[in-house]
Amino acid sequence: MSQSVNGLKQSELESLRTGSLKNRRFLLKSRPEARIDANTFEMVSEPIAELTEGQALIRTELLSLDPTNRIWVADVDQYMPPVQIGEVMRGLGLGRIVASKNPSLPVGRLVSGPVSWQDYNVADGTESWPFALVPDNVPVSVEDLAGAAGMTGLTAYFGVFEVAKAEAGQTMVVSAAAGAVGSIAGQLGKIAGCRVVGIAGSEAKCKWLTTDLGFDAAVNYKAPDWKQQLIDATPDGIDVNFENVGGEIMQFVFSRLNLRARVALCGMISSYNDPDDLKTKVSLTSVLMKRVRVEGFIITDFMNRFPEGSAKLIEWIAQGKIKTTSTIVEGLENAPEAVNQLFDGSNTGKLLVRVYPSPDTPTP
């Protein structure tokens, strides 16, 4: 079995050989009625069987926390099968190959893909959703590989350029603008030449958007006069809406859409914890009157163009044309509680859990 500086330690390899290497895993215990809580998952610790020919062992390093985690644990019609009770929680992120009996999955290489909420995955490359080798020497941080240059950035990229078809001189409004997707979408809108207005949940986030990220204006939707602020920030109406929130915010944005505006319907986070989905009701009269194009999209629609999108995002991040930030939570055990940061707005930029090295990993 191959080993390198990035592989398992000798004692861990021995545990793997004897079938006693432990894998902490979050299994879905019960479906939440509202927020994910202490009853939603159960953490178990299970041994990993010794690798067979063709298999590799991937240790999770960064786990991406996403609003869609909440959708995946709900028994509702969605774009993937819901996670079933007793199954390991689905999750995306970055891992490293730490032991291998497969030459195409060599020890030491970073991979991206469906790491799930667990310490380790066993893979052989024939999975329907395989791990992808991250090219060596990519000029961005691992946090950006898991965020702005990964699924998050790709969602913004294809949403802005392919779905919304943002054009120079137009006004673009982005909701959840200080979050992972929104902060990149707004900066891509600037690259496209739009006037970009963000909507976010605090004065500090709004200041970050305008001062650091170059948004033309930002509106704090928690301010009592936010609707008037949005009117003032969009004097020529709205041509492009990159919608992440739904509910009342989307409703008001719709009332300011221009003739032939485009809405890239990316997410509706305000309704994910609401079983009745009541808050998403939006008047479609303006869609009719203004001949608006509203298009929902799921990032997997663009799977065959990920290499193109990632290359562009990596280039812009490396050149400093796109600025990024992440909120990092330490330790897999904190994932269930941390996911709620997405719903109370305590994250800025990409929310990640650092699974390995964990804070208690001894430094060599």
Given 89, 178, 282, 353, the residue binding ligand NDP (CB under 6 A): 178
Separation of first and last alpha carbons in the chain: 22
CB of 299 to ligand NDP, least distance (A): 4
Beta carbon of residue 75, minimum distance to ligand NDP (angstroms, whole number): 18
252 binds ligand NDP (CB under 6 A): no
Query: What's the closest the beta carbon of residue 195 comes to ligand NDP, in angstroms?
Result: 20
Cβ proximity of 21 and 51 under 8 Å? no
Name the one range near ligand NDP by CB under 6 A: 49-57, 114-122, 331-339, 343-351.
343-351
Within 40-84, residue ranges assigned H as helices are 68-72
Binding to ligand NDP (CB under 6 A) within 48-87 occurs at 66-68
Q: Say how far apart CA 227 and CA 236 lie, in whole Å.
A: 15
Q: Are 257 and 242 in contact (CB under 8 A)?
A: no
**C-alpha dihedral sign at 32, 114, 11, 19:** positive
* 234/245 Cα distance (integer angstroms): 19
**Judged by CB under 6 A, which stretch of 49-57, 173-181, 250-258, 330-338 contacts ligand NDP?**
173-181
Q: Say whether residue 176 binds ligand NDP (CB under 6 A).
A: yes
Site for ligand NDP in 134-153 (CB under 6 A): 152
> Could you say whether residue 173 binds ligand NDP (CB under 6 A)?
no
**One of 180, 233, 338, 352 touching ligand NDP (CB under 6 A):** 180
Distance between CA atoms of 237 and 262, rounded to whole angstroms?
A: 12
Identify which of 190, 223, 194, 220 has the alpha carbon closest to the alpha carbon of residue 207: 220
Length of the chain, please?
364
Q: Using the rule CB under 6 A, which residue among 161, 226, 252, 297 binds ligand NDP?
A: 297
Secondary structure class of 37 (helix, strand, coil): coil
Q: Tell me which H or E stretch contains 184.
A: helix 180-191
Asked if 269 is part of the footprint of ligand NDP (rule: CB under 6 A), the reply reads yes
Report the nearest approach of ligand NDP to the CB of residue 25 (Å): 23
User: Which pair of structure tokens corresponds to residue 21?
Assistant: 């290497």
What minimum distance in Å lies between the beta carbon of 122 and ligand NDP?
27
Interaction of residue 219 with ligand NDP, rule CB under 6 A: no
Query: By CB under 6 A, is residue 201 in contact with ligand NDP?
Result: yes
